[in-house]
Amino acid sequence: MTIYPQFSETEPRHNWTRDEVEGLFTQPFNDLIFAAQTVHRAHFDANEVQFSQLLSIKTGGCPEDCGYCNQSASFDTGLKASKLMQVEAVLSEAQKAKDGGATRFCMGAAWREPKDRDMAAVCAMIKGVKAMGMETCMTLGMLSDDQTTKLRDAGLDYYNHNIDTSPEYYDKVISTRVFQDRLDTLERVRNAGMNVCCGGIVGMGEQDSDRVGMLMALANLPEHPQSVPINALMPTTGTPLGQSDELHPVEFARMIAVARIMMPKSVVRLSAGRENMSDEMQALCFLAGANSIFVGEKLLTTSNPGKTHDDVLIERLGLRSMDAHTNPSAHEVPGKPAPNHADAAE
């Protein structure tokens, strides 16, 4: 069986059926990777990868009970809660990230939703990072209409709000919100004209059908997320999912490849879990269509490969840094600076 020609389309679709997506996942691996790379090259430079850095601007104490997260107040993981960082401290970290080669700076707060009193500081962080010429992304939980407008007016490039898993498996992972809550916030972000960053996590004990369902939920949105992070669970002692079995590297690469085919113009981000991935596994993910990684020694609270290791891997694979603001599917947002190619990491 071959996936050509029906699954080698390079233009976005929003009407994927379960049979079609299951058909992708069950293709011979070589055929699937070839198709994903073909789609990838239609929209991206296959040897460019965006370097993003993630900072926890407010850590721990979250009232949600996400079974994968060590920041939940529901679990005893030894993580100490902290208050929202000062704007100046965040901007200092952003400058360090840029100096280290990152072109995108992501800021995450362990909230169910932000409080209105914190919005002025959050918006100041966005404006300060944008003034450095970096892409900005934030994840703050669920948003009201007014909060969404404030983020948009501050010039936020992307808002991250992952659906985590399939609609069918969602209540096995989280009980303090429902799947529709995620969709409602995504709709607010889209309607405000911001770019959506939305993906999920694999290796949480889900079935193959749940990985199919998660990608269907993303690709059949009214507009594809411009940014799609695919995370491998980082098991944490004290969380309900801390003993989950690791997904096989080939199956993780399949996830990247199918995401690339289904959302051809989106940046597919190889996100959490790289600390536990071999160089060969990461190379396979790039071949499958991943074109972004998080750099720096940690993500929000979990470890990440160090700069020296990443530099060696990137050089060995012949990859280059992707400039900020070059995503072909991204919308213009207020205050977006012109691309500064001189600032791009070499």
Q: Token pair of 90, please?
A: 């965040």
- Residue 41 among the catalytic residues: no
Dist. CA 146–CA 72, nearest whole Å: 26
Catalytic residue among 123, 137, 198, 285: 137
The structure tokens 């390079």 sit at: 10
- Residue 197 among the catalytic residues: yes
- Residue 198 among the catalytic residues: no
- Residue 106 among the catalytic residues: yes
Cβ atoms 140, 117 nearer than 8 A: no
Q: 338 vs 135, 192, 323, CA distance in Å?
A: 11, 21, 11
Side chain identity, residue 143: L
The structure tokens 């536990």 sit at: 276
The structure tokens 């790379």 sit at: 37
Catalytic residue among 104, 254, 269, 274: 269
Catalytic residue among 123, 197, 198, 285: 197
Q: Token pair of 117, please?
A: 């009193």
- Residue 137 among the catalytic residues: yes
- Residue 123 among the catalytic residues: no
> Buried b / exposed e across 263-289, counting CB within 10 Å, b at 16+?
bbbbbbbbbbbbbbbeeebbbbbbbbb
Residues annotated as part of the active site: 62, 66, 69, 106, 137, 197, 269
